[in-house]
Amino acid sequence: MVKTEDLKRINMLRDFPGHLLEIIAREANLTIFGTGARLATIHEKLDTFYMLIMGQVAVKKALTPEIDIIFEYVQSGSTFGSSAFIEGSTSAYTIICQEPCETISLSGERMIELFRENHELAYYMMLGIARQYKKNMDIRAKMIMKTLDDNPELRDDIHDIENLALVI
């Protein structure tokens, strides 16, 4: 069991009602991982949702055997592994601790059961994940726009640039 005070340190849980935090606290586990610990591996079953209390993890994918693309450095207060809430999901990325990390983890399978029983919990969790997804997409759209500003020759090949940064 995890303390609800620890859960309040997670950005997506800050607006959760106390009674829902108590449900999550009963299901959650607190774990400390060392630098280099692999929390998810590409194409393997993803069955754990993580909330990072302290540390940093890299979300990456191999481009070639020698080159990895790092999609994101997840910081304290953030979450990752939301695909664990989809039955039969596999990881699209490899996730590795870049430094010692303190995490709160939830079993995806158990949370799916709880979502079926408690629709309010499911609503708040999915709302939090959707907000995080939108924030990440907005950041990526800004990065693309900056790249286009720095490389104006690329703009000629894009036919619908005005809608590039729109949220779907």
Q: Which of 35, 36, 159, 47 lies closest to 112, judged by CA?
A: 47
Is 161 a domain residue?
no
Q: What is the pLDDT of residue 10?
A: 96
| Continuous H helices in 2-107 | 4-7, 18-27
Residues 6+ apart with CB under 8 A from 38: 94, 95, 96
Is 19 among the domain residues?
yes
pLDDT in tens, 65-84: 888 889 889 999 999 999 99
Q: Are 101 and 37 in contact (CB under 8 A)?
A: yes
The most confident of 100-104, 130-134, 149-153, by mean pLDDT: 100-104
C-beta separation of 46 from 109 below 8 A: no
pLDDT in tens, 83-103: 999 999 999 999 999 999 999
Q: Which residues contact 141 (CB under 8 A, 6 or more apart)?
A: 164, 165
Residue 157's pLDDT band, with cuts at 50, 70 and 90, is: low
Does some domain include residue 91? yes
* pLDDT value for 158: 67
CATH code, domain carrying 57: 2.60.120.10
Q: Residue 167 has what pLDDT?
A: 45
Residue 142 domain-assigned (yes or no): no
Query: Which band of pLDDT confidence, cut at 50, 70 and 90, is reported for residue 168?
Result: very low
Instruction: Reduce the DSSP state of residue 39 to 3 states and report it.
Output: strand
For the chain, how many structural domains are there in total? 1
Is 20 part of a structural domain of the chain?
A: yes
Residue type, 163: N
- Residue 55: inside a domain: yes
Instruction: State the residue range of the domain holding 72.
Output: 4-118
Q: 42 lies in a domain?
A: yes
Average pLDDT, the chain: 89
Phi, psi of 88 (to 5 degrees): 75, 10
Q: Residue 124 pLDDT more than 80? A: yes
| 14 within domain boundaries | yes
